Amino acid sequence: MRQFIYSLFSICLLSHSLLAQVNQNWCGSIEAMEANFKKHPELRHQFESIQNSLNAMSQTNEAGKTAVANYTIPVVFHVLHVNGYENISDAQIQDQMSIFNRDFNLQNADTSVVIAPLKNAIGDAKITFELAKRDPNGNCTSGINRYFDTKTNSWEGDFQDYIYSWDPTMYLNIYVVKNISFGAAGYTYYPGSFGPGDPMDGIVILQNYVGSIGTGNVNQSRALTHEIGHWLNLQHTWGNSNNPNVACGDDQVGDTPDTKGYTSCSSLIGSQICNPGISENYQNYMDYSYCCVMFTKQQCTRMTNALNSSAGARNNLSSSANLAATGITPAAVCAPAALFKSDKQIICLGQTINYTDLSNISAPNNWSWLFEGGTPNTSNAQNPSVTYNTPGTYSVQLISSNTAGSSSPEIKTGYITVLPAPISSSLAEGFETSTLPNSTWMLRNVSTTNTNWQQTNSAFASGNNSAYVSETVSPSSTIDIYSPTYDFSSMPYNALTFKWAGAERDQSSTSGDVFSLFFSTNCGATWVPRFSKTIKSTVAGVSGVVNGNFVPTSNQFQQEVITFGTLSSATNVLFRFRLVTELGSSNNFYLDDINLTTITSINEQFNHALNLSVLPNPSNEQVSVVFDLLEDKVVEITLHDVLGKTVKTIHKQAFTNGNHSISIPVNDISKGIYFVKVNVNNIITSQKIIVD
């Protein structure tokens, strides 16, 4: 039975593990739709009328054939990020574009797995997607925009969040974010949900559901295929509900059989649950299974009808005038925009860095590089290699060009850090005599914000100065301070001590700043965590909640002692202190009295040999248990509740001498206080952790 019920939904291709993580909240479309209708009740009647008209059109046009015309849709991606992994690459987005064009033009080879009863129903939508080449002002563009915006951490989907939208009557807007507050992997709206040109008329998707490379993966790479299906007026295969596996339903499409829907790839090939003798289309892109490989012919007809409808002005997208305005046809002739990356940004003396040209908008055929402090100092190669022989912090510049012109210079200031030669003496740093940075301590703001570590005389553990980060630091910033490099082979059995002071600004914040210590033995190529502290008032050492600017007394500094006996033969040891700030909770943070000394007593060294750390702490995802061994040992790691009951036995195995890090998931246990116990030869060391 065909029955119209308004609403809209999203998200396909979720594996069991992902479903568990989002608590089966696959989409937030119902909430988004209803919230918008409550704010704008006049849209509800308009939406119902448009949907009834489109449904009638699809039923009239159902001839069992796919579209005969080809449609091209200009696309623009808006990537919201805080300089983390959510700032996905151009390559990942371009990979997603290839997946769109494969799926909507029946070029995917995996249709070979479609069950026999539905092979004749496979449809070709004949829809091509292209990244826009001109923006709404007529300027050349890559079709990929990036914005530093903390909304990416918890996207709410309110009207004011869509400030970056380009005219939806000209472009398909796709927002890429880190997290969606209501637990969805993504969502969109049917045609007619808004008036033409409303900035909310687009798609929102999590960064790890874009493409099959980078942070994406093959299993989740068709989520956006599913979302575009909704955007072009396709319902779920079981109809307009977000309740698969509940009741048999219909999706207004004649060649998709009634179904309850699936939340995993069916183990019963050719399932016929709703109507005996009629196999269900669990392999459809609009199902919730993760083996979606097809649209049906009449689904393609329904999408074609949407592209020929004035609802949401979908009919303007593929018009000749719009394709010309967005630079698709004829193709815009543009100069490139210079962009590049390097395989390393921190190196030791004499090492080589490989640069990769990422220039976009249009392909360049000429490159002009300038490498401060490098050999060579200049290059015209597309992807040059440069050696650095002098310690310091250096900038890099690229200008790319083609027959249409030259780009503006892409200049990355302080992009490369070349470490000085390792030293073999102890360290005693109280930040008394030099400003920051200096010949000893190097700084790097990973987030490219204006705030960094600096010297202050307002608070200190001893002496008259300390290093600190001001409370004015931008939220979601990552700022590092690097030590010199050390040759431990001539100074074995070392301990690093330091003092820190921090306070929470707002106890209502769900998170806190995180202060961490890492070490590297390969010139910063890889890092090992050694210490981590979340700056929450409930965490030991943190000086409570201070609503104003935190200025500690000397006795509010907390001292830490970290030993490094397992690095006694390392010839290039580098330390990195990192502060990661979070939205709403940051206050002044201080670091002082950093000392690297040799432990004189071998017994003292063995007493500290385990050097147990559990980080981050608190945590709600997973923790890393980090420990050292001076010789091969059998180690058992267990997790206990406050009553001593064993909650998990993590590991009991032989470990070689050296540093080890073991991950323990904690998202499957209740909130509360627990103890990690490490048993080495019946000597037990424990540390309290908080699961929040």
Residue (of 239, 258, 290) closest to 113 by Cα position: 290
The DSSP result for 411-425, as a single string, is EEEEEEEEPPPPB-S
Domain check: are 195 and 89 in the same one? Answer: yes
Query: Which among 94-103, 286-295, 446-455, 486-495 has the top mean pLDDT?
Result: 94-103
Three-class DSSP labels, 279-323? CCCCCECCCCCCCCCECEHHHHHHHHHHHCCCHHHHHHHCCHHHH
| For range 280-294, the mean pLDDT | 91
CATH code at position 449: 2.60.120.200
Tell whether the model's pLDDT for residue 510 goes beyond 70: no
Judgement on whether residues 236 and 249 belong to the same structural domain of the protein: yes
Cα 247 from chain centre: 36
Q: Do 591 and 422 touch, CB atoms closer than 8 A?
A: no
* Non-local CB neighbours of 523 within 8 Å, separated by 6+ positions: 346, 347, 348, 351, 419, 485, 572, 574
Q: Could you say which of 605, 639, 674 is where a domain stops?
A: 605
- Mean pLDDT of the residues in the chain: 86
679 assigned to some structural domain: yes
551 and 616 share a domain?
no
Residue 593 in this model has a pLDDT that exceeds 80: yes
Residue 3 has pLDDT above 50, yes or no: no
Q: Highest mean pLDDT range out of 42-46, 84-88, 379-383? A: 379-383
Band of pLDDT at residue 600, cut at 50, 70 and 90: low
pLDDT at residue 18 is higher than 50: no
Number of neighbours of residue 390 by Cβ within 10 angstroms: 12
CATH code of 670's domain:
2.60.40.2550
Residues 32, 46: one domain? yes
Instruction: Name the token pair of 77.
Output: 């991606």
Q: How do residues 187-200 score in pLDDT, each as one tens digit?
A: 999 998 888 899 99
Amino acid identity, position 621: E
* Separation CA 258–CA 279 (nearest Å): 9
Whether 468 maps to a domain, the answer reads: yes
The answer to whether residue 208 is domain-embedded is: yes
**Domain identity same for 286 and 347:** no
- On whether residue 330 sits in a domain, the answer given is no
What's the pLDDT band for 56 if we cut at 50, 70, 90? confident
Work out how many domains the chain is built from and give that number: 4
Name which residue leads in pLDDT, 496 or 10: 496
Q: Are residues 134 and 263 in the same domain?
A: yes
Instruction: Give the domain-ending residue among 418, 439, 462.
Output: 418
Q: Average pLDDT in the 472-491 region? A: 84
Q: What is the mean pLDDT of residues 353-357?
A: 98
- Residue 332 DSSP class: P
pLDDT-derived band at 12 (thresholds 50, 70, 90) equals very low
Q: What is the mean pLDDT of residues 117-144?
A: 96
**Of the candidate ranges 182-186, 343-347, 355-359, the one whose mean pLDDT is the lowest:** 182-186
Query: Per-residue pLDDT averaged across 55-61, rounded?
Result: 71
Name residue, tokens 């090939």. Answer: 269
Active site residues: 227
Give the pLDDT confidence score for residue 362 in this predicted structure: 92
What pLDDT shows up at residue 258? 94
Higher pLDDT, 408 or 670: 408
Residues 307 and 345 in one domain: no
Residues listed for the chain: 692
CA end-to-end span of the chain? 48
Q: For residue 59, is pLDDT > 70?
A: no
pLDDT band at 352 (very low <50, low <70, confident <90, very high): very high
In a domain, 617, yes or no: yes
CA dihedral 111, 112, 118, 123 (to 10 degrees): 30
Q: Tens digits of per-residue pLDDT, 382-422? A: 999 999 999 988 999 999 999 999 999 999 998 999 998 99
Q: With a cut of 60, say whether residue 487 has pLDDT above it.
A: yes
8-state DSSP, 407:
P
Give the mean pLDDT of 626-655.
Answer: 81
* DSSP for residue 237: T
Q: Looking at the structure, tell me whether residues 448 and 399 fall in a common domain.
A: no
188 and 50 inside one domain: yes
- For the segment 305-314, the average pLDDT, to the nearest whole number, is 93
Residue ending a domain, among 605, 625, 659, is 605
Task: State residue 448's pLDDT score.
Answer: 56
Q: Judge contact between 494 and 519, C-beta under 8 A.
A: no
**Span 543-582, pLDDT tens digits:** 999 988 999 999 999 999 888 877 878 899 999 999 998 7
Q: Which residues pair with 389 in a beta bridge?
A: none
Within-domain flag for 10: no
**Same domain, yes or no, for 148 and 36?**
yes
How do residues 215-258 score in pLDDT, each as one tens digit?
999 989 999 999 999 999 999 999 887 778 889 999 989 999 99
496 and 539 housed in the same domain: yes
Round to whole Å and give the CA distance between 502 and 303: 56
Q: What's the rounded Cα separation, in Å, for the pair 141 and 368?
A: 21
Q: 333-342: string of b/e by CB count within 10 Å (b at 16+)?
A: ebbbbbbbeb
Percent of the chain with pLDDT over 90: 53
CATH number reported for the structural domain that contains residue 406 in this entry? 2.60.40.10
Q: Which helix (H) or strand (E) holds 429?
A: strand 427-429
335 falls within a domain: no
- Report the pLDDT value the prediction gives residue 270, as an integer from 0 to 100: 67
Q: Is residue 11 part of a domain?
A: no
**Containing structural domain, residue 673:** 609-692
8-state DSSP, 421: P
Same domain, 671 and 586: no
Task: Please state the φ and ψ torsions of residue 554, each to the nearest 5 degrees.
Answer: -60, -35
CA of residue 413 relative to chain centroid, distance? 25
pLDDT, position 509: 66
Helix (H) / strand (E) element for 102: namely helix 90-103
Q: How confident is the model at residue 281 (pLDDT cuts 50, 70, 90)?
A: very high
Only one residue has tokens 């330390």, namely: 575
Predicted pLDDT at 17 = 32
